Amino acid sequence: MNSQTVQSEKSTKIKGNLDMYEKRIALHERKIYDLKNLISLGISLSSNLNFQSLVESILFSCMGQMFVDRVAILLQVDIDEPNYYIHMSKGYDESFPDRKIILNENSSLLRYLAKNPDPRPFGQLKSTPSLVIDCDKLEILTPDLIVPMKSKNAVNGIIVLGKKMTGEEYSESEKEFLVDLGKFAAIAVENSRLYLMATLDRMTRLYIHHYFQERLLEAIKRCKRTNTPMSLIMSDIDHFKKFNDRYGHQQGDIVLKEVAAIFRQSIRSIDIPARYGGEEFAIILPETALADAIGVASRLRKEVEAHEFTGQNDPLHVTISLGIAQYDPERDKDKSDLISRADTALYRAKNAGRNRVAAYK
């Protein structure tokens, strides 16, 4: 072997070692980058108690980190509803039916993921005979990777990821990242869920009185700071005591639940609906002047009036009265003044014949 050949082999070996070294450096840099992202994401998730905002953050984190254009999350949110359903999705058609997919809390897939909490290719899961039925329910999501959200010894959610936009397979380092993301997400969702349950009225799913008072105070401070309008609606169900006496308290509970559902579905995400007490409700409308608040109240009144309430052989009907006041820093020295003015408007509506809207002017 001549010296030139020896020198060439040495150069090739050195180059190979350098390439391997550079690959290791790149791998370590990627892991450091992922670790920084995880720390930042963990801090962000743990400090967010707003349930909807939290879930949205989890989905956008998956999309940005994994370069996917479709992601969905199945959650068990309500303590009264044991099943898991699609709570939120991103990247699907606007008509995509959230809540359509339902997995029983004792389903084979959830039991399998509880025992095997690592990210799993959807194709691998579907090829397992005992999981076929549950996997068929997920087909509408065109899944590529399933990420369990395991908190303590239970799975409280599933993140469903579509194919990567690059067309590549998920790497092992990406799967490792998703394992940690799933754990962070599970803990954050559980904390946020517990907070949500503590601030919601169990029957109506509206905010409780104490939470309403806190948020109203915050809204007033924001008005003073930003010089933006804010209005308050106070409402109650007309002749509710007579209705209870005639049909019973169970039927009355159905009416409370369905009126509350109309309120939740008919207002913006930034609005704050609360059960003020008994059959009386309150809604805080940030960034809303009196004229717009009257429009909101009028729409709610019409929707409740037209609604057919269940529980009897024939549909039942009830009406509501609503009073509105816009926050006035000159007149409202504290939140009780604003509540009092909205309440005064409510009683004007009731005294004028009920089933109507009145504004404090």
* 87 three-class SS: strand
pLDDT of residue 347 exceeding 90, the answer is yes
Look at residue 32 in the predicted model and tell me its pLDDT: 55
**Domains defined for the chain, CATH in brackets:** 3-199 (3.30.450.40), 209-359 (3.30.70.270)
Look at residue 109 in the predicted model and tell me its pLDDT: 93
Average pLDDT taken over every residue of the chain: 86
CA neighbor of 86 nearest in space, from 67, 103, 69, 70: 103
By residue count, the chain amounts to 361
Give the least confident one: 9-23, 69-83, 140-154: 9-23
Percent of the chain with pLDDT over 70: 83
Instruction: Pick left, alpha or beta for residue 134 (phi over 0 → left; psi -120 to 50 → alpha; otherwise beta).
Output: alpha
Q: What is the pTM of this model?
A: 0.69
**Per-residue pLDDT tens over the stretch 202-249:** 899 999 999 999 999 999 999 999 999 999 999 999 999 999 999 999
Structure tokens at 134: 């549950």
Give the least confident one: 2-11, 157-166, 262-271: 2-11
Catalytic residues: 279
CA neighbor of 161 nearest in space, from 150, 172, 146: 146
CA neighbor of 261 nearest in space, from 216, 234, 208, 300: 300
**pLDDT tier at 135, thresholds 50, 70, 90:** very high
